[in-house]
């Protein structure tokens, strides 16, 4: 099945926990974006905003079933994070202050996307030199325009 890039409305909720069990810092954005079928699943792409701290960047979330999500950010900063069940990946995470190498371990991946949109939810732990940076939960709702 080949789905051309299709314009969609995206609602993204991000929660960041400084440590397990702490109160999360939550960000919610609404954005225009695209949805497309890929060889391995689906990809959602959207422009970041000031609210996320990555204004001037485009983020692409590509799902590989319920086992892996690749989160790539391009623009003012670049990142490429692989979130995969049962694997720890060392990834480059770009910020306006520079790039960091981080360890990324998936906790949960749930994909319910098709050509009509749906949901993508995943959570992961990030560490630097084995010290916890945070636990992140991302929920993405995709609706056709």
For residues 141 and 8, give the distance between their C-alpha atoms in angstroms, rounded to a whole number.
Answer: 10
pLDDT in tens, 46-86: 998 877 778 889 999 999 999 999 999 999 888 999 999 99
First to last CA, the chain: 20
What pLDDT is recorded for position 50? 79
Task: Report yes or no on 1 lying in a domain.
Answer: no
Domain span including residue 13: 6-144
The share of the chain scoring above pLDDT 70, in percent, equals 97
**Do 46 and 31 meet the contact criterion of CB atoms below 8 Å apart?**
yes
Whether 11 is in a domain gets the answer yes
| Mean pLDDT of the region 93-108 | 89
- Assign residue 128 the CATH number of its domain: 2.40.128.20
pTM of the full structure: 0.90
pLDDT given at position 20? 67
Position 11 scores a pLDDT of: 97
State both tokens at 18.
């400084």
Map residue 97 onto helix, strand or coil.
Answer: coil
134 inside domain: yes
Which string of b and e fits 104-113 if b means at least 16 CB within 10 Å? bbbeebebeb
* pLDDT at residue 3 in the model: 62
Is residue 44 assigned to a domain? yes
Residue 41 in domain: yes
In a domain, residue 63? The reply is yes
- Number of structural domains found in the chain: 1
């Amino acid at each position: 099945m080949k789905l051309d890039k299709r314009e969609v409305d995206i609602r993204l909720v991000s929660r960041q926990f400084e440590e397990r069990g702490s109160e999360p810092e939550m960000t919610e954005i609404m954005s225009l974006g695209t949805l497309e079928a890929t060889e391995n699943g689906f990809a959602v792409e959207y422009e970041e905003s000031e609210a996320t701290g990555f204004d001037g960047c485009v983020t692409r979330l590509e799902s590989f079933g319920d086992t892996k999500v690749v989160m790539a950010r391009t623009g003012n900063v670049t990142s490429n994070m692989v979130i995969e069940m049962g694997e720890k990946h060392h990834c480059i995470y770009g910020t306006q202050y520079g790039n960091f190498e981080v360890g990324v371990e998936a906790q949960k991946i749930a994909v319910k996307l098709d050509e009509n949109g749906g949901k993508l939810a995943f959570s992961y732990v990030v560490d630097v030199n084995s010290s916890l940076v945070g636990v992140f939960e991302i929920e993405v709702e995709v609706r056709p325009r």
